[in-house]
Amino acid sequence: MDENQLIEDLEEELGRALLEHYIQRKRRVFIRINKDANRKMARLIKEKYNGFICVMTSVDAGDDLELVYHFAIEGEEGRQINLNVTVSTPKNIPEIKTITDIIPGSAYPEREAQDMVGLKIIGLPDPSRLFLADDWPEGVYPMRKY
Amino acid sequence: MFALEALKMLLKKPFTWKYPFEPIEVPEGFRGKPEYDEENCIGCGACAAVCPAEAITVTEDAKVVLTLSYADCTFCADCEKACQWDAITLSKEFELATLDKSQAIVQIEREKNVCEGCGGTISAVEQMDWIKEEISEIKDNIPADDLEAITKLCPECRRDKAAENIISEVYS
Amino acid sequence: MALKIPIGPQHPALKEPTNFSVELDGEEIVDAYVKPNYNHRGMERLAEEKTYPQVLVLYERICGICSQIHPQCFAQATEDALGIEVPERANYIRTIMCELERVHSHLLWAGVGAHELGFDTGLMYLWRDREAVMDILEMISGNRVNYKMNTIGGVRRDIDERKIPMLLEALDAYVPQVDLYANAFTKDPTLRARLEGSGILTRKEADELCVAGPTARASGRDVEVRRDDPYAAYEEVDFEVPVVDDGDIMARAVVRLLELYQSINILKQALKNIPEGPIQADIDEIPEGEGVGRIEAPRGEVIHYVRSDGSWYPERTKVRAPSYVNIPALIPMLIGDTVAEIPITVASIDPCWSCTARVAIVDTNKKTEKIMTFEEIRSHYG
Ligand code: SF4
Ligand code: SF4
ipTM: 0.93
Phi, psi of C310 (to 5 degrees): 95, -5
Contacts of C208 in chain A (CB under 8 A): 103-105
Spatial contact of C350 and C109, defined as CB atoms under 8 Å apart? yes
A145 has pLDDT over 50 = yes
Q: pLDDT tens digit string along C176-210? A: 888 988 888 888 888 888 888 888 899 999 998 89
What is the residue-averaged pLDDT of chain A?
89
Quick check: CB of B124 below 6 Å from ligand 1?
no
Domain that holds residue A55: 3-122
Q: pLDDT tens digit string along A8-65? A: 999 999 989 999 999 998 899 999 999 899 999 999 999 998 899 999 999 998 889 9
C107 vs C91: CA distance, rounded Å: 25
Task: Say which residue, C353 or C124, is predicted with more confidence.
Answer: C124
Q: Is A40 within the bounds of a domain?
A: yes
Number of domains in chain A: 1
**Which domains, from first to last, does chain C contain?**
39-324 (1.10.645.10)
What is the residue-averaged pLDDT of chain C?
82
C90 vs A39: CA distance, rounded Å: 41
Q: Is A44 within the bounds of a domain?
A: yes
Q: Is A38 within the bounds of a domain?
A: yes
Ligand nearest to the backbone CA of B40: 1
Q: Is A130 within the bounds of a domain?
A: no
**Which domains, from first to last, does chain B contain?**
29-110 (3.30.70.3270), 112-155 (no CATH)
pLDDT band, residue B149 (cuts 50/70/90): confident
Of the partner residues A84, A105, A131, the one whose CB lies closest to the CB of residue C40: A131
User: DSSP label at C135?
Assistant: H
Quote the strand ranges of A3-106, DSSP E. Answer: 18-25, 28-33, 52-61, 64-74, 80-90, 95-97
- Beta-ladder partners of C33: C21
> What is the share, in percent, of chain B residues with pLDDT greater than 70?
99
Q: Is A109 within the bounds of a domain?
A: yes
Mutate to test the interface with B, among C119, C136, C148, C152 (most CBs of B within 10 A): C148
Q: How far is CA C225 from the centre of its chain?
A: 13
B134 has pLDDT over 90 = no
pLDDT at res. C373: 35
Task: Determine the atom of ligand 2 nearest the C-alpha atom of B90.
Answer: 1
Cis (ω within 30 of 0) for the bond into B20?
A: yes
User: CATH number, domain at A21?
Assistant: 3.30.460.80
Mean pLDDT to the nearest integer, B141-167: 82
The mean-pLDDT minimum among A9-13, A59-63, B160-164, C19-23 falls in C19-23
pLDDT band, residue C369 (cuts 50/70/90): very low
Task: Find the helix or strand (DSSP H, E) in which A51 lies.
Answer: none
Contacts of C143 in chain B (CB under 8 A): 30-31, 75
C365 has pLDDT over 80 = no
Q: Is A136 within the bounds of a domain?
A: no
Q: Assess A144–C contact: CB distance below 8 Å, yes or no.
A: no
Q: Is A59 within the bounds of a domain?
A: yes
pLDDT at res. C99: 93
Q: Is A139 within the bounds of a domain?
A: no
